[in-house]
Amino acid sequence: MNDTHEIAIQGIGGSPGICIGKAYLVDKEGVDVVRQYYLFDKDLSEEIERFKRAVDKASQELDAIISSLSGDYQEQLFILETHKLLLKDKKLYENTCKYIESNHINAEWALKKVSGNIKQTFQQMNDPYLSERGSDIGHVTDRIMHNLIGGKNHEQIRDINKRVILIAKDLSPAETSQIQLHKIQGFITELGGKTSHTSIIARTLQVPAVLGVNHATDIIKSDSIIIVDGTKGVVILNPSEESLIAYEEKKNMFERRRKSMMRHSELSAKTPDGLEKKVMGNIELLEEVVSVLDHGGDGVGLYRTEFLYMAKNELPSEDQLFENYKEVVDLMFPKPVTIRTLDINGDKPIPEMYEKSETNPVLGLRAIRYCLKRPAIFKTQLRAILRAADYGTVRLLFPMISGVQEIIAAKTLLDETANELTKEKVPFNRNIDVGMMIEVPSAAILSDMMADYVDFFSIGTNDLIQYTLAIDRGNQDVAHLFQPLHPAIIRMVKTVSEAAHKKGVKVFMCGEMAADPFHVPILLALGIDEFSMNPPSIPAVKSMIRKVNTKSMEPFMKKILEQRSPNDVIQVVQDHYGDIFQETINF
Ligand code: PEP
Ligand code: MG
């Protein structure tokens, strides 16, 4: 095969956007990641010391280089001296120490965040001299990071001096969330699907990604120029001059669209006939609250709370959980925060918490099943949530409920917890909305009964589709069958919505189905009361809602319900709303 021939490979669009750049192949061990982990109070001062030692070492390294350079290298000497000063710059040095302390987070992650903010500030400046200082911060950060991470991985990291496109067999959700954004333009993996957690995190980070590219690590060469179109799920190897120009233009257009969408993100999502829908953000970390607000979110519709449980060997204490939840609630105030109780195991495994490895983890001891088996762990979290609820608008959400007995058991433990807090005279608020995820088909089928026990349902389509259609959400080989507009899924959502509304129970959707503007007309017609999604998707969904008239949708819905395949459903939506999509989502 001619090596310079342009090749387009179809994968799965994991995260929209386009990037053009050099490929960088990594094996699993070589990923340029900054691990992120939670620290307990007792470990904070040692972590700050570790950071300071890494800075001191970087300073000594610079001294050694400076003394080895002769006077012929005046300019380099000047740069290195500047770097030395930057190492102890208040904004970088002190803020990183503070960040470690206030967020209980490891030094690498704190440094990444703090330096990212400084760089962004510099880069936004019009003065080319000042904007160049952003790259000095990058060099200094790399040097400190090298000392923090250590080890052989850094030999590869050091070689990267341009922003690259990462090519890997697989990236776990943890790795994806730890990618150093300033070095990664986008990524391509062989494994993974559209609603795998890797994709969800890529969308949250706004990094274009194509997943499920068979043999990517065999056919893409390091350093070759490639194009990643995360919107269409296409990767182009050996791009021709024309393709490079065309994609550069598409990339600019995408970025212009995204910016223009952002300009209207604060507007409420009110349909032309005056129906207002709340559009909320899904978060996994405290710091993502900012992103929800920046993208015009009306609150947090799903707080995935697993992160605090990822610390090694120790479970978080009630106070640690409480502080974290309270901060989210404070930052969002007065907007609501929906805190979901632990949804561990399944595809978000926390190895330390496995009692034994499971053959079928997604069908195993996950989420509410785990919590009901470990009431002490569960109650600790419930106490923290009820206490945080005293500071704002909190809703409590139980995951993976599959039948009436489970929701009763969960609520019984909630009541017991509230009684204990009352006895102990600890301030809390039990007067909160309590809801359950509809993500197991049995719960959807029984939704008329389940509605007797909750204030709201939140439909988790990522799992609901996985379990209803028997499609592993993270398996690229069946990703084409993961179809939110499958007639069975539409019927199921309809069943849930009707059953709930009959009993005055609200129906929210927090699965990724809610994040696609193309689904908005159907979801409005099905009566979804509130949408929640990865924050960057909020503006487009709001914009779409503002364009769909919900009066007289019956003929459209009738037609939809007659369709026998996802493609036929798509066609009907296209026929009715094609024009609106054209102007809203066709980046
Ligand atoms: C879902 O299953 O749709 C959902 C929102 O939960 P998660 O993606 O965390 O499993
Ligand atoms: Mg789920």
- Name the helix (H) or strand (E) containing 490: helix 487-502
Residue 262 lies in a domain: no
For residue 188, what pLDDT is reported? Answer: 93
The pLDDT of residue 548 is above 80: yes
| One domain for residues 171 and 123 | no
Atom of ligand 1 nearest to the CA of 282: 5
Cα 347 to ligand 2 centroid, rounded to whole Å: 9
For residue 155, what pLDDT is reported? Answer: 37
Per residue in 511-526, pLDDT (tens digit) is 999 999 999 999 999 9
Considering only 31-45, 211-225, 427-441, 518-532, which range has the smallest mean pLDDT? 31-45
Look at the chain and report how many structural domains it folds into: 3
Residue 494 lies in a domain: yes
For residue 347, what pLDDT is reported? Answer: 66
| One domain for residues 413 and 432 | yes
Residue 258 lies in a domain: no
Which band of pLDDT confidence, cut at 50, 70 and 90, is reported for residue 311? low
The pLDDT of residue 359 is above 70: yes
For residue 214, what pLDDT is reported? Answer: 85
Closest Cα to atom 8, ligand 1: which residue?
A: 462
For residue 4, what pLDDT is reported? Answer: 67
Average pLDDT over residues 200-228: 87
| One domain for residues 504 and 407 | yes
Boundary residue ending a domain (103, 134, 149): 149
CA distance 9 to 14: 14
| One domain for residues 160 and 144 | no
| One domain for residues 166 and 214 | yes
Atom of ligand 1 nearest to the CA of 302: 5
Top mutation candidate among 306, 463, 492 for ligand 1, by most atoms within 8 Å of CB: 463
Residue 551 lies in a domain: yes
For residue 44, what pLDDT is reported? Answer: 93
Cα 116 to ligand 1 centroid, rounded to whole Å: 29
The pLDDT of residue 348 is above 80: no
Per residue in 171-194, pLDDT (tens digit) is 765 556 556 666 788 989 988 888
Nearest 5°: the CA angle 131, 136, 140 is 150
The pLDDT of residue 488 is above 80: yes
| One domain for residues 279 and 421 | yes
Residue 252 lies in a domain: no
Strand arrangement, sheet containing 18-25: 7-10, 234-237, 225-229, 18-25, 164-168, 184-189, 209-211, 12-15
For residue 587, what pLDDT is reported? Answer: 41
| One domain for residues 414 and 370 | yes
Top mutation candidate among 304, 458, 532 for ligand 1, by most atoms within 8 Å of CB: 304
- Name the helix (H) or strand (E) containing 263: helix 241-263
* Ligand number with the minimum distance to the CA of 283: 1
Cβ contacts of residue 241 below 8 Å, gap of 6+? none
The token pair that represents 310 in the structure block: 């990822």
- Which is higher by pLDDT, 196 or 162? 196
| One domain for residues 134 and 185 | no
Cα 196 to ligand 1 centroid, rounded to whole Å: 9
For residue 31, what pLDDT is reported? Answer: 40
| One domain for residues 165 and 138 | no
CA distance 534 to 512: 8
For residue 315, what pLDDT is reported? Answer: 84
Cα 459 to ligand 1 centroid, rounded to whole Å: 9
Which band of pLDDT confidence, cut at 50, 70 and 90, is reported for residue 500? very high
Residue 2 lies in a domain: no
The pLDDT of residue 42 is above 60: yes
DSSP string, 72-95: GGHHHHHHHHHHHHHHT-IIIIIH
Top mutation candidate among 438, 439, 509 for ligand 1, by most atoms within 8 Å of CB: 439
Which band of pLDDT confidence, cut at 50, 70 and 90, is reported for residue 157? very low
Closest Cα to atom 1, ligand 1: which residue?
A: 460
CATH of the domain at 71: 1.10.274.10
The pLDDT of residue 586 is above 50: no
Considering only 95-104, 151-160, 310-319, 539-548, which range has the smallest mean pLDDT? 151-160
Per residue in 445-475, pLDDT (tens digit) is 999 999 999 999 999 999 999 999 999 988 8
| One domain for residues 145 and 159 | no
Atom of ligand 1 nearest to the CA of 439: 2
Atom of ligand 1 nearest to the CA of 347: 10
Residue 477 lies in a domain: yes
pTM of the complete model beyond 0.85: no
The pLDDT of residue 281 is above 90: yes
Point out the residues that are catalytic.
197, 510
For residue 531, what pLDDT is reported? Answer: 98
Average pLDDT over all residues of the chain:
88
Instruction: Quote the domain boundaries for residue 549.
Output: 270-584
Boundary residue ending a domain (149, 176, 192): 149
Residue 90 lies in a domain: yes
Boundary residue ending a domain (122, 149, 176): 149
Cα 376 to ligand 2 centroid, rounded to whole Å: 23
For residue 585, what pLDDT is reported? Answer: 61
CATH of the domain at 217: 3.50.30.10
| One domain for residues 523 and 446 | yes
Beta strands 269-270 and 276-283 are: antiparallel
| One domain for residues 384 and 275 | yes
Pocket of ligand 1 (CB under 6 A): 302, 304, 343, 439, 460-463, 510-511
- Which is higher by pLDDT, 73 or 229? 229
DSSP string, 561-578: HH--SHHHHHHHHHHHHH
